[in-house]
Amino acid sequence: MHLDVIGQKVLGGDPMRRDTIFRIIAMTTPVTAAAAMIPVEECKLRLHDPADRLLPELADRKGLKRIDGPLDDAAPAPADQAARPQHLPPRPRHDFGARPASIR
């Protein structure tokens, strides 16, 4: 096994050490958002399209009859909600997992 330390804690600051603690941020959302933009640019995906076309399991949504009921005790969504299809998010969030503490 080879272990090497490269870089500085802060630009122009102390060098990193093997035991330096730093925050690792989540990169899943920005990578997924960038990947989703490829079919958007190719006109294969529109961000405001209903998600039913891509995720057919969302087409006939159901909800629990009671909040504490078993998962198999579901009923079709109310008419006002069933008529409103789920959409892809209009813009992916790029907060890199670094949201303000008030939102967590």
85, HSE (Cβ side, Cα atoms, 13 Å): 14
d(CA 69, CA 102): 32
Nearest 5°: the CA angle 61, 62, 64 is 150
**pLDDT for position 83:** 61
Contacts of residues 40-49 at CB distance under 8 Å and 24 or more positions apart, as own/partner, are: 45/88, 47/88, 47/89, 47/90, 47/91, 48/87, 48/88, 48/90, 49/87, 49/88
Entry pTM? 0.41
**pLDDT(42) > 90:** yes
**pLDDT above 90: percentage of residues in the chain:** 2
* pLDDT of the residue at 46: 82
Residue spans per domain, the chain: 28-82
- Which amino acid, one-letter code, is at 35? A
